[in-house]
Chain A
Amino acid sequence: ETGVTQSPTHLIKTRGQQVTLRCSSQSGHNTVSWYQQALGQGPQFIFQYYREEENGRGNFPPRFSGLQFPNYSSELNVNALELDDSALYLCASSHTNSNLGYTFGSGTRLTVV
């Protein structure tokens, strides 16, 4: 059983650019969520995807968007990057019928300069 894998592990982008982060969910999991974790803070919910549709969103602007594919892998896209977007981006998968916790990936460390 594979866990959640994210790529890339580290990324440096310039303000105003666009970025795509990728996530492969754990086998058997049909729901994927994305979280942003700023340095010294707890993760903040960005959005969740189920059956390839967004079914929940946190307090993040529309320039944060996502996709979920039929194989349950996922992408997080961020347009018009701002310096405050620098953070660890975590992908988490779960099964919608499970009351268990999420399985988190190791994250992508994004630095915007």
Chain B
Amino acid sequence: TQLLEQSPQFLSIQEGENLTVYCNSSSVFSSLQWYRQEPGEGPVLLVTVVTGGEVKKLKRLTFQFGDARKDSSLHITAAQPGDTGLYLCAGVSYSSGSARQLTFGSGTQLTVLP
């Protein structure tokens, strides 16, 4: 069974601070995705990282995929209250029936205080 461990589970910071969320697994994934989920909504895709060592930047968000494709991190610079939400990492794998399935971490609930 593939598992993704996400840390920290909860994070409360002041506006302007930096933060990093970690996603670790003992399994190798073909790619890894980061989602953000608001209350009462489904997850919304932020980024997909495919190549080991890959770094992607999305404005103030920086995503990194580990060299061995087992772990990833999300770094937010100068956090803003609008960044508040549940951040989920998800490893992409393929089942025996060829279904592309996501294995989600348990999420990091980020609260950015003004």
Does B bind A?
A: yes
Which A residues are within 8 Å of any B CB, using their own CB?
A: 4, 31, 33, 35, 40-45, 47-48, 50, 54-59, 90, 92, 94, 96, 99-107
Which B residues are within 8 Å of any A CB, using their own CB?
A: 1, 4, 6, 31, 33, 35, 40-45, 48, 50, 88, 90, 95-107
Residues from chain A with a CB closer than 8 A to the CB of B103 are 45
8 Å CB contact of B31 from A31, A50, A99, A107: A99
Q: List 20 A-B contacts (CB under 8 A).
A: A31-B100, A33-B101, A43-B43, A43-B102, A48-B95, A48-B97, A55-B99, A56-B95, A56-B100, A57-B97, A90-B43, A92-B42, A94-B100, A100-B45, A101-B33, A104-B35, A104-B42, A105-B42, A107-B40, A107-B42
Residues from chain B with a CB closer than 8 A to the CB of A101 are 33, 35, 45, 48
Contact B95 A102 (CB under 8 A): no
Closest to A9 in B: B40
Residues from chain B with a CB closer than 8 A to the CB of A96 are 100
Contact A56 B99 (CB under 8 A): yes
